[in-house]
């Protein structure tokens, strides 16, 4: 790894430590909280992970001339939102997953009822933290609006519903024996459109709101916010493509035959629709555009540029 790469790894690790410490503080002060609820919330919130969203908040704030310290509440809030969504998505009524990051999922440890409530409490705490600990109040309110619209009906939750719908539609397509090549091509274009729309909502909006929150805390001007949002959209989509690619690198050869439809889990993926090479090119192109957008920020955006390259390059 290059020296720059090593320096950036060290920076990331330091930011992650600050975020983890602050998240632990937020769990620590839930004194009067019924202990099973606190345990369930902390179990998932303090489970580690990349902390990509909060890191984006901090780096965006820095790129706009603000301080890491001022952006920490917003960074923690977005990680709380991300964590609640994982807890609820893992439930038997949704994706029904038993494991996440190598540990039992929340509901497997605490039961479905408590897992639902822990998710609700983390979602609510996110708004409490951002509204109370971000200054001044007008910035806090603007951050609440960003976070809510990125994570609610028109953002993450809406994307999750659209995802469930698309899976059902895809299952129907796959179970049909009558599809001919021409329909197949039209379906691929349609599916790619659907896939992008879902990702934009399900993961893209929240990643995009991360940089917006950082910029708001730094009280950045409209042009800076706009550039960071465009950067966020591209990095978010590239991140998703990289994630899809990682899922298939284990059996890449097999995937070649399946291009156009990844029916294994009834899920659409980029390599499944575009093929591996075209997916890689698409991700690279998005990252290139994202970095270009940050030119006016100069050296202050170096870390955001390093991060954009980082998310698509490594198995992490």
Sign of CA dihedral 103, 109, 112, 115: negative
Q: How far is the CB of 47 from a second copy (least distance, A)?
A: 18
Please, which residue, 65 or 111, has the CB nearer to a second copy?
111
- Supply φ then ψ for residue 294, to 5 degrees: -90, 5
CA separation for the pair 160, 158 (Å, rounded): 5
CA separation for the pair 54, 211 (Å, rounded): 9
Interface positions with a second copy (CB under 8 A)? 30, 32-34, 36-38, 41, 84-85, 88, 91, 93-94, 111-117, 119-121, 123-125, 127-128, 130-132, 134, 136-142, 144-145, 147-149, 151-154, 157-158, 160-162, 164-165
Q: How far is the CB of 141 from a second copy (least distance, A)?
A: 4
Please, which residue, 41 or 225, has the CB nearer to a second copy?
41
Q: How far is the CB of 309 from a second copy (least distance, A)?
A: 32
Please, which residue, 140 or 308, has the CB nearer to a second copy?
140
**Could you give the count of Cα atoms lying within 13 Å of 82 in the half-sphere of its Cβ?**
26
Please, which residue, 212 or 312, has the CB nearer to a second copy?
212
Measuring CA to CA, how many Å separate 153 from each of 114, 127, 149, 173, 276? 23, 16, 7, 27, 32
Please, which residue, 49 or 158, has the CB nearer to a second copy?
158
CA separation for the pair 85, 183 (Å, rounded): 35
User: Cis peptide leading into 203, omega within 30 of 0?
Assistant: no
Q: How far is the CB of 120 from a second copy (least distance, A)?
A: 5
Q: How far is the CB of 117 from a second copy (least distance, A)?
A: 5
Measuring CA to CA, how many Å separate 149 from each of 14, 143, 202? 30, 10, 12
At 102, list the tokens. Answer: 């190598």
Which element (helix H / strand E) includes 100?
strand 99-100
Please, which residue, 220 or 248, has the CB nearer to a second copy?
220
Q: How far is the CB of 182 from a second copy (least distance, A)?
A: 29
């Amino acid at each position: 790894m290059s020296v720059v790469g090593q320096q950036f790894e060290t920076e990331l690790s330091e930011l992650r430590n600050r975020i983890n410490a602050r998240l632990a503080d937020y769990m620590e002060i839930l004194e009067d909280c019924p202990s099973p609820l606190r345990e369930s919330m902390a179990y998932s919130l303090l489970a580690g992970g990349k902390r990509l969203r909060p890191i984006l908040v901090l780096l965006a704030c820095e790129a706009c001339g603000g301080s890491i310290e001022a952006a920490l509440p917003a960074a923690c809030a977005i990680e709380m939102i991300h964590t609640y969504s994982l807890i609820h998505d893992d439930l038997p009524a949704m994706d029904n997953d038993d494991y996440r990051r190598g540990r039992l999922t929340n509901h497997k440890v605490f039961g479905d009822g408590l897992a639902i409530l822990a998710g609700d409490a983390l979602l609510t705490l996110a708004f409490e933290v951002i509204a109370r600990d971000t200054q001044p109040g007008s910035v806090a309110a603007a951050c609440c609006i960003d976070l809510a619209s990125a994570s609610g009906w028109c953002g993450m939750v809406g994307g999750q519903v659209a995802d469930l719908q698309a899976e059902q539609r895809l299952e129907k397509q796959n179970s049909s024996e009558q599809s001919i090549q021409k329909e197949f091509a039209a379906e691929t274009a349609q599916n790619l459109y659907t896939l992008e729309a879902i990702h934009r909502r399900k993961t893209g909006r929240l990643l995009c709101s991360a940089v917006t929150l950082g910029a708001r805390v730094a009280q950045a001007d409209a042009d800076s916010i706009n550039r960071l949002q465009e950067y966020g959209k591209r990095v978010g989509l590239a991140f998703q493509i990289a994630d899809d690619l990682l899922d298939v690198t284990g059996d890449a050869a097999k995937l070649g035959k399946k291009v156009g439809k990844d029916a294994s889990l009834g899920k659409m993926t980029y390599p499944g629709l575009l093929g591996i090479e075209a997916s890689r090119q698409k991700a690279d192109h998005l990252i290139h555009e994202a970095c270009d957008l940050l030119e006016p920020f100069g050296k202050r955006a170096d870390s955001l540029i390093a991060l954009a390259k980082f998310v698509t390059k490594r198995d992490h």
